[in-house]
Structure formats: C-alpha cells, structure tokens
C-alpha cells in the first residue's frame, strides 16, 4: 500500500496535465513528444569526442599540470588528430 508522502508528489506531477487536458475540448492541440533528430553517427562522434577529452584530462592530471598550462594542454590535446 502506498503511503501519503509517496502519493502526494506523484499526484502533484500528474494532476496539472490531467486538468489541462480535461479543460480543453480540442484534443488536436494536445502537446506531443518531439522526436530527437540525431543519427547514429552523431552519437558515435559525440562519444569519440568525450572519450578523447577524458583521456586528455587524465593525461593532464598524470602530468600534474596546473591551471594555465592544464587548460592549454587539454585544448591542444583535443585539437590533435
């Protein structure tokens, strides 16, 4: 059985949507989810950039670089092929 503290937040999240849809008679204007316009290659490229950036940050940490040199190193490292 659900306790009151668990039910109240759920109702607060759901009720505004229910009231909004019940108040409008025009169901054609109901909000719909927008599709995400990404392709697999976009995701692969983003994953590759993230992996490279992470490797550059780890390398800067291993070299014990401090801020001005660390930022320059990471920027140059990411730009390198």
Q: 72 lies in a domain?
A: yes
Into how many domains does the chain fold? 1
Q: What is the pLDDT of residues 33-78, one digit of tens each?
A: 555 555 667 788 999 999 999 999 999 999 999 999 999 999 999 9
Q: 44 lies in a domain?
A: yes
Range of the domain at 17: 4-29+39-79
Q: Hey, how many other C-beta atoms are within 10 angstroms of the C-beta on 56?
A: 19
Tokens of 40: 């697999």
Q: Hey, how many other C-beta atoms are within 10 angstroms of the C-beta on 78?
A: 13
The number of CA neighbours under 13 Å toward the Cβ of 81 is: 0
Tokens of 48: 């590759």
The answer to whether the beta carbons of residues 56 and 76 sit under 8 Å apart is no
Q: What is the pLDDT of residues 7-35, one digit of tens each?
A: 666 656 665 655 555 555 555 555 555 55
């Amino acid at each position: 059985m659900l306790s009151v503290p668990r039910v109240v937040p759920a109702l607060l999240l759901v009720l505004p949507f229910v009231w909004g849809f019940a108040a409008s008679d025009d169901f054609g204007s109901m909000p719909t989810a927008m599709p995400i316009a990404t392709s697999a290659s976009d995701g692969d490229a983003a994953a590759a950039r993230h992996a490279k950036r992470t490797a550059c940050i780890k390398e800067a940490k291993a070299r014990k670089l401090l801020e001005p040199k660390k930022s320059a190193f990471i920027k140059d490292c990411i730009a390198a092929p």
